């Protein structure tokens, strides 16, 4: 494990539990595995439009400045994924699903002919040999009650671009009982991360 890509998708900044847990995981890998951490914030990415799709599918040099900028952004994001051995994906649950900012990010890295291709038997992902740790934080409880939409979607889109080795650490129920169990839930998530990453506690 040499290169780790940390993707943060919360809108809460430093108040985000998914980000704090992603930071914790990245610190573990940096201190105990000597990993190089690249941080990617998903905020600010444009949402997918017809113009974006046209730019992604255009292989000519006839793109206008806006189209070229969209392709350059997509290429930058994809290059970060390609360079990573391990991906830490911080994902809060908003209204039962992923943040729209993360959906935009995924739309920018799922490109035909680049990260997947169409074949006679269906689409085939072109990215492999990567491990993804998904850290999902939610105010309510979804996975434990069979109502999780985030996990299946993340697994599906990762598999679509060729990444099959996907693991989840969940911090659910953070807002229940006015957050009475929040710290305990976060501690349990940290312990799960230590076990999953096979490292000891972060040293100060």
pLDDT at 59: 67
Q: Report the pLDDT value the prediction gives residue 1, as an integer from 0 to 100.
A: 62
Task: Tell me whether residue 109 is in a domain.
Answer: yes
Q: What is the model's pLDDT at position 199?
A: 78
* Separation of alpha carbons 87 and 16, rounded Å: 18
70 within domain boundaries? yes
Hey, what are 71's tokens? 């392709």
Number of domains in the chain: 1
81-124 confidence digits (pLDDT tens): 999 999 999 999 999 999 999 999 999 999 999 999 999 999 99
pLDDT above 70: residue 160: yes
Q: Could you read off the pLDDT of 37-77 as tens digits, one per residue?
A: 999 999 999 999 999 998 998 766 678 888 999 999 999 99
pLDDT in the model for residue 148: 98
Dihedral pair phi/psi, residue 41, rounded to 5°: -95, 135
Residue 203 has pLDDT above 70, yes or no: no
pTM of the model: 0.93
Residue 164 covered by a domain: yes
Q: What is the pLDDT of residues 134-143, one digit of tens each?
A: 999 999 999 9
Which pLDDT score is estimated for 39?
98
Look-up: residue for tokens 């807002």?
A: 175
Q: Does 172 reside within a domain?
A: yes
Q: How far apart are CA 53 and CA 41, in angstroms?
A: 22
Residue 138 domain-assigned?
yes
Residue 204 domain-assigned (yes or no): no
Of 169, 166, 199, whose CA–CA distance to 22 is shortest?
Answer: 169
User: Any idea what the CATH number is for the domain that residue 48 is in?
Assistant: 3.40.50.360
- The answer to whether residue 87 sits within a structural domain is yes
In the beta sheet, which residues pair with residue 117? 124
Q: Which domain holds residue 77?
A: 3-197
H or E element in which residue 89 lies: strand 86-92
Q: Is residue 203 part of a domain?
A: no
């Amino acid at each position: 494990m040499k290169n780790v890509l940390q993707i943060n998708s919360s809108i809460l900044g430093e108040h985000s539990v998914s980000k704090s847990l992603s930071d914790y995981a990245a610190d573990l890998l940096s201190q105990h595995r000597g990993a190089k951490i690249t941080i990617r914030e998903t905020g600010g990415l444009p949402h997918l439009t017809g113009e974006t799709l046209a730019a992604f599918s255009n292989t000519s040099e006839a793109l206008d400045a806006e189209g070229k900028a969209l392709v350059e952004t997509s290429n930058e994001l994809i290059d970060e994924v390609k360079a990573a051995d391990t991906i830490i994906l911080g994902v809060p649950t908003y209204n039962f699903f992923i943040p729209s900012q993360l959906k935009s990010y995924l739309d920018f890295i799922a490109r035909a002919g680049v990260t997947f291709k169409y074949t006679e038997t269906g689409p085939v992902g072109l990215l492999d040999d990567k491990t993804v740790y998904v850290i999902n934080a939610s105010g309510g409880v979804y996975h434990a009650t069979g109502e999780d939409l985030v996990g299946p979607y993340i697994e599906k889109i990762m598999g679509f671009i060729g990444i099959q080795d996907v693991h989840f650490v969940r911090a659910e129920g953070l807002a229940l009982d006015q957050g009475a169990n929040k710290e305990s839930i976060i501690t349990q998530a940290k312990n799960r991360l230590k076990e999953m990453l096979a490292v000891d506690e972060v040293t100060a």
